[in-house]
Structure 1
Amino acid sequence: MNKEIWTELTFFSNCVLWGMYLLIFYDVLRIIRRVFPRGAILVGIEDIIYWTISGLLIFRMMYQQNNGIIRGFAILGMFLGMLIYHNLVSQPLVELISGFLNKIKGAILYVIHLILKPFVFLGRGTGHGLAKVFKLFKKILINIQKFLKKSRKSSKISASDKEKGG
């Protein structure tokens, strides 16, 4: 086989692999999104960052392997790699791994819930208890204020009686 044809065939094979790599890395993002859901804005930002980095890596690969020349068969090779990976592996792999990680996440959250349950119970009991104590102190302060007002009035009355009688 001619050396130039072999070089082009190797380059095409690398492009097919790069197409697969791109979708593998995107599937990692999809798995993370399924385990830790996020809003549309953050997903959009992640996609922009992903495709920017992917574009830079593709440019680097083409520059190193093909002197920066973009060829139609290179793009076709990447598309073919993406298509093969997506149709054969992507969906079952994402569902399997994200399902497994969600089960681990659920187990961890359940253990954390069990560990924190006594503290939450004590916190709620303490919170209700503190509220009752606060209400009691408030009633005591109100009664003291009423008592002080009554005693001031009675002291004013007794002082005026002394002035009249004395």
Structure 2
Amino acid sequence: MTLTTQWLTVAVMLLSGLGMGVVFDGYRVVSNELRFPRWWLPVLDILYWMAAAVVVFLMLYASNNGEVRAYVFLGLAIGVILYYWLLSKQVIALVKWVIEAVRALIRFLLKVFDFVIIKPILLLYKAVLVILGFGTALTIFLLKIVVQLVRPIWLLLLWLAKPVTRPMGRWLKPHWERWRAEERLMKGLAAVKSLWNQWFRREKR
């Protein structure tokens, strides 16, 4: 192995140590800010170290075909120490700033969604209710006017029809009594009322 390859390996391991520190601080800050359950932390630690080991091995394999020498661990240690000595506080502050920026962006998008989508829908819904209520009230008012206007004509028609309806009533009265139509009608209404009460009680339960 040439001297150039050795120095390249040390540099790659040093960068790997820096990257390990960045990722470790990043996921720790994220887990604290997002308040992950405590039992997640050991799982995340295991996943972190497994991923770190795979990445370091791939970097080592790319630099010197995977040969493990003392300077490999020396480069990793120097990278980690340099990171925590020079960059850790800045990286933590940057990650926190990114998290706050993402939160602010989400809050802004939610406000825009509420202003552009939710509020117009609610306003349209209230407008439809007002229009329907006004239309219903206007319809009932017009129906009352129509009934008041038609009532005299109806009464006049009934008065004019009395000469015809009275003899017809006398003629139908014996048949009406023979068929017991009134009694059957009352029984039918009572049966319908009973069924209605049973159904309503069942639904209420």
Q: Structure 2: 5+ residue runs without aligned partners?
A: 115-205
- The answer as to whether partners of 1:16 and 1:80 remain within 8 angstroms in 2 is yes
- The answer as to whether partners of 1:63 and 1:69 remain within 8 angstroms in 2 is yes
Q: Map of 1:94-105 to 2, 5 A cutoff?
A: 94-102=92-100, 104-105=102-103
1:48 and 2:46 correspond = yes
Question: Any idea what SS the aligned residue of 1:27 has?
Answer: helix
- The answer as to whether partners of 2:17 and 2:75 remain within 8 angstroms in 1 is yes
Q: Map of 1:4-153 to 2, 5 A cutoff?
A: 4-102=2-100, 104-105=102-103, 108=106
Higher CA-based Rg: 2
What is the aligned-residue RMSD (CA, Å)? 3.0
Q: Which runs of 4+ in 1 moved over 3 A?
A: 106-113
Amino acid at match of 1:52: M
Q: CA deviation at 1:5?
A: 1.4
- The answer as to whether partners of 2:21 and 2:80 remain within 8 angstroms in 1 is yes
In 2, the alpha carbon distance for the partners of 1:33 and 1:85 equals: 20
- The answer as to whether partners of 2:5 and 2:64 remain within 8 angstroms in 1 is no
Q: CA deviation at 1:38?
A: 1.0
Corresponding residue for residue 150 of structure 1 = none
- The answer as to whether partners of 1:35 and 1:102 remain within 8 angstroms in 2 is no
Q: CA deviation at 1:27?
A: 2.5
Identity among equivalent pairs (%): 21
Q: For residues 40-91 of structure 1, what are the alpha-carbon distances to aligned partners after superposition, in whole Å with 9 as ceiling and x for unaligned?
A: 2111111111110111121222233223221111111011011111111112
Number of paired residues?
118
Bigger mean CA deviation after superposition, 44-53 or 28-37: 28-37
Question: Any idea what SS the aligned residue of 1:40 has?
Answer: coil
Q: CA deviation at 1:96?
A: 3.7
Q: Structure 1: 5+ residue runs without aligned partners?
A: 116-166
Amino acid at match of 2:15: L
Normalised by the length of structure 1, the TM-score is 0.57
Q: 1:14 to 1:111 in 2, by over 3 A?
A: closer
Q: CA deviation at 1:110?
A: 8.6
- The answer as to whether partners of 1:15 and 1:74 remain within 8 angstroms in 2 is yes
Amino acid at match of 1:56: V
Higher relative contact order (CA 8 A, sep 6+): 1
Normalised by the length of structure 2, the TM-score is 0.48
